[in-house]
Amino acid sequence: MRKKLLLGNWKMNKTVAESKEFASKVAPIAELAKKNNILVGVAPTFLSLDAVKQGTKDFIVASQNCHFEDSGAFTGEVSIPMLKAIDIDWVIIGHSERRQYDNETDEKCNKKIKKLVANGMTSVYCVGETLKEFEKGLTKEVVGRQLREGLKELNAADFDKIVVAYEPVWSIGTGKNASEEIAQDICSFVRETIKDMYGEVSSKVLVIYGGSVKPENIAGYLSQKDVDGALVGGASLKIESFEAMVKALV
């Protein structure tokens, strides 16, 4: 049985003090989640990673990005050893905002995922099509390419440390949800593609949906057979709605 996963993506929100305040209220939510076999956590900015990690227990604290080199002349970047040094072992890779604004290519994502795997860390690899691609019926072509490029040259055994998040770009932060049927269809396609690439391990991989998920609609997505969880932006910022989403999954 695959676990459920709720991961909040805070993007460029919350000061360290605001992040600490959220962390100070996490304990009962993390306990409830643990009791119900649900993995929960958030991805704060680099600045707040340490504070949230220190202030929580049984709670995933993920970085929103990392560099694939260990150190060097890469101004503004943060490396995997730096994250490891503060006990951060989950990283979001290839979020559409990074693909759009920071030239995050499938190839770069692949380098990062391989490096994370080598360090025993978990990657949450984001894939998804733009509105134009969706309207042209290219979703599976785009997502298929992102998977084959981003997840190439790995081993089946690496997939206990890889989560795939299907996030249609047109539904992120827009309030325009993909239907439950679309989420199921593409999450199932993700699983099929991984099966084609790496075999039966695909049935164990966590595949989650992201895009305007909130307390009112999260249970509907999770009721789909290939949707194991959600990557949530806006609705993860307030502790009340974060808690409501966990409760909706119990």
Q: Which of residues 192-231 bind ligand PEP (CB under 6 A)?
A: 210-213, 231
Provide, rounded to whole angstroms, the least separation between the CB of residue 235 and ligand PEP: 6
Q: Which stretch binds ligand PEP (CB under 6 A): 103-111, 127-135, 137-145, 233-241?
A: 233-241
Q: How far apart are CA 22 and CA 16, in angstroms?
A: 10
If you ran DSSP here, which 8-state letter would residue 177 be given? P
Provide, rounded to whole angstroms, the least separation between the CB of residue 81 and ligand PEP: 26
Both tokens of 194, joined, read 């991984």
Q: Which of residues 1-40 bind ligand PEP (CB under 6 A)?
A: 9, 11
94 binds ligand PEP (CB under 6 A): no
Residue 156's identity, in one-letter code, is A
Beta bridge pairs of residue 38? 4
233 binds ligand PEP (CB under 6 A): yes
DSSP string of 79-139, one letter each residue: BHHHHHHTT--EEEE--HHHHHHS---HHHHHHHHHHHHHTT-EEEEEE---HHHHHTT-H
Ramachandran class of 72: left when φ > 0, alpha when ψ lies in -120 to 50, beta otherwise: left
Provide, rounded to whole angstroms, the least separation between the CB of residue 7 and ligand PEP: 9
Q: How far apart are CA 65 and CA 115, in angstroms?
A: 13
Please pick, among 97, 104, 167, 243, the residue that the annotation labels catalytic.
167
- Residue 149 annotated to the active site: no
Provide, rounded to whole angstroms, the least separation between the CB of residue 129 and ligand PEP: 14
Interface size with ligand PEP, residues (CB under 6 A): 14
Contact set with ligand PEP (CB under 6 A)? 9, 11, 167, 172-173, 210-213, 231-235
